A and B are shown apart, each in its own frame.
Chain A
Amino acid sequence: MLRDITLGQYYQTDSVIHRLDPRVKLGGTLLFIISLFFFQHFPGYVAAALFLGIVIKLSHVPFRFMVRGMKAIVFLLILTVAFNLFLTPGTELVSFWKLTITWEGLKTAAAMAVRLTMLIIGSSIMTLTTTPNNLTDGMEKMMRPLRVFKVPVHEVAMMMSIALRFIPILLEETDKIMKAQIARGADFESGNLLKRAKAMVPLLVPLFVSAFRRANDLALAMEARCYRGGEGRTKMKPLVYQKRDRIAYLCILLYLAVSITAGRLVWMWI
């Protein structure tokens, strides 16, 4: 059923990671990604992998769900690895036809692959353990300082959460319109790409009309309920840092310190 669709890829379960404040998760993911590109040496990767492993364990999300996110970037991954492998100059290892693999190439390619994999897994942990709603709330609160630069933070967050609310409704409606058009003899399945794209017109036009009508109704309903932008608004579920959030921040900082020093230490030895 279309209405059963889940947005993003939230995995419903109860864990420490799920209960963390979305701001911690957003900030943590960002720092983790930055850290991946910070260090150049082996111990750094070990530290990152260990950290990631612990977070995965704590999140109670089955590992296969995180691997699922990898599918989307398999192509990018192969491309990056291939470029790094063949195009880095340095000591020659193997050479066949016009391609040469260098020792340096192998090293950068492996580093790139590990980095990208950890990046994707790291960010999918965030989306798997945070509801879209929480995520928008977290973003709104984190971006608040940008209001100084006239960035409409509240409005953007409100738009995002309304979009999230209406996606299932519009999907259901698409389904309905599609069936109505099929009943009138429309054909969405056969023909080449151009023909199929043309067949979408009688689907998209009524969908757009109805989306605009809904938007108009919703705006009216929001105004009738005294909505007048973010000014003077209170929150039913305000984000307040708990003890666990502070501990999580500490853990992230500790990880950063360890991974950076580990990288540096080895570098000094060499």
Chain B
Amino acid sequence: MLMHRIIGIFIAVVAFSARYGPVEAQAQVQPRRAVLSGFVTDASDGQPLAGATAVLRDLADAAGDVPSYGVAANADGIYIVSGIEPGSYELTISFIGYEAFRDTLALSAGDAVRRHAALVASQEELDEVLVQAGREHGMARITAGRQRILPEEIELVPSPDISADLANYLTVLPGVVTTGDRGGQYYVRGGEPSQNLVHLDGMLVYQPFHVLGFYSAFPADILDRVDFYAGGFPTRYSGRLSSVIDVASRYGNTRRFAGMASVSPFTSALRIEGPIVPGHASFLIAGRESFLERIAEPLIDKNLPFRFGDLFAKVYGPATRNSRLSISALRTHDRGTIAEEVGEEAPEEVRWSNEALGARWVIVPRILPVVMNVHLSHSRHQTELGPRDEPFRMSRIYHTRFAIDALFEKDRFSWEGGWDGLISGESQNRLDGVFHLPETSARPFLEFGFYAQSTFDLGRGLVVAPGARLQWYQVRIDPWLEPRLRATWDRGIHHFSAAVGVYNQEVVGLTDRRDVANVFTIWSIVPRPEDDENERDPLVGRLGKSVHGLLGYRAAPKPWLEVSVEGFYRRMQNLFVAEWTAFPALTTRLHPARGRSIGMEARVEMRRAPFYAFVNYGLSSTLYHTKYEAIRYWFDTESLEFRPPHDRRHQVNALASVSWKGFDASVRWAFGSGRPYTRPVAFDSFVLLDRAASVFELMRSRRVIYDRPFNAVLPTYHRLDISVERTFRFDGAALTLQGSVINLYDRRNLFYLDLFTVRRVDQLPLVPSLGIRVSFE
């Protein structure tokens, strides 16, 4: 009955969309109409020009001043004009900063015509008003949790490396909390790191952030764009509770060879790209490797026991006349000791790696005015804790992802739908008894779903996008319905947006959150009740669930000024928290918990050449609520409510950048209020009284005496970073020098406090850095 009801609701949603969607799409291919489509690219390097406009003017219209049809190219540079009445037209494809492409077309009934355009950059002055109006990116340009991030914005944030990185940019976002500059853990609006969905060209990457917080697998110079959803994400994304980081890498240069090499005290990087078939197919290879021990450690006189690196490769080219195929591959590796040495006890080393290989086939079918995507990828992630040759904890997860979707767009309507699944997945864990999972376990998993989302332009600036996802998870046979809605309302300079949605997560990342230095994450699957052999696994049947609600306002009172405010609320169920133990050890049991997060983000952004600046403020409150038998005896209460260690109430980020006489200078200041921690009362010794024996024969241990967990707050965090960059251009080559100082006033920012030794571990001190980059094209 439940399954029938869920499927019934999903079909109703899809049918509602279909009333306007596929039916209308079918109408467009009726014999009396014609379809025009094509790819728009930059003639200099073959990159798609997202947002380029294709306009058809009816030559029979004597005045000719009103376009008959007009569309914008999507992120892949694809445009489709459908439902064209037979006749003669002038086609104009244009993009700001480029010479327009013009052609004359005589279209007959039933024609399906293609015109690809490679636009040449123009030397004429730009119309910046158009740029502002069409701009999708920017710090304050957030729409119901969604923000588009471009590489040049990432490059504005000072970092100790000349190679800018998405990870460093994420830290300036008001809804993103990091616990410090090591560990690679990102918390978005109260969610946990394992609840973030990270896609690179559609490949799911489990832990793409490097052990040193400035770096990820996404250096800016391989990126085309990043869509970051802090919540309320649409139906095409699934399997995570908190956020989406959807990274699209750029294609290699199809016209000529280009490359880049850079060196800084932290990393060295290399990138090579060029044509495989000139004008059509290209490759791009980029790699990066850290060498902190050799330069950075002596420079700042601080132990930095980290090694990391990544390698990315991509080939791209036309598969047929109306399709493009790209193949991407990624490999990352990290190792390091997050905590610091205490006494003679060496901290445990954690290691992780990611491997992913994927293909994406973008098709513009002749028979339908839709854009189709077919995606196939395989992702693998492994993490270990302990000695390298004999780790005592290991977690591995892998899967194959297959997805197929279609997008139909018309003037006031668009429809998107498809099938998306993780197949042949398995998580394998060897855990030395921690978390009360079996010492070794292997759990296969399969999850897939159908989704549909329609976008209706209802007029008067109101656009709504209802959708639903029908998702099957391993935990039960019946599917799960995940309804979602996004809406925007434009009234002059005022822009309102909202989103609500239901999200589920079957693949869970288990980490001992009592200690931020413990970043070892066990990836496991929520087991079905019938698979629970020992009947003690707290995960059984508890599929993670979250409900998001967002409401935002944005305004551009001046062409150079934009402000936005967004409030959010999310409710989370079936979280897992570590049981509190008085023993100074990290072995623990898990207990289910629920939580809620509520907050507000305010942003002000100013773009006034040669000046650029923004200020962000984030206010949030996250509470976890857990209930299990022992709590009653420990805390004299039936349940326990506490602030998790990532509940940072206030966060401010300010950035200013200026270009002057060939120099690009940026300054960034970050502030975060203190995070909760558990303040101990005292320490003593404990004897396990499990039989009536002499104390000499019984197990004895040191113990921490504490009151309630997370009952105190750590000091505030703030830091000032600056960077100055100058590029010298030569014939076909460029030399860039960058000087930066991280933590300019050498603030002792706490990374974590060892609960048992009351010993503090600080984040990076003042770090001067000089980087050099050589690029050619």
Verify that A and B bind, or say they do not. no
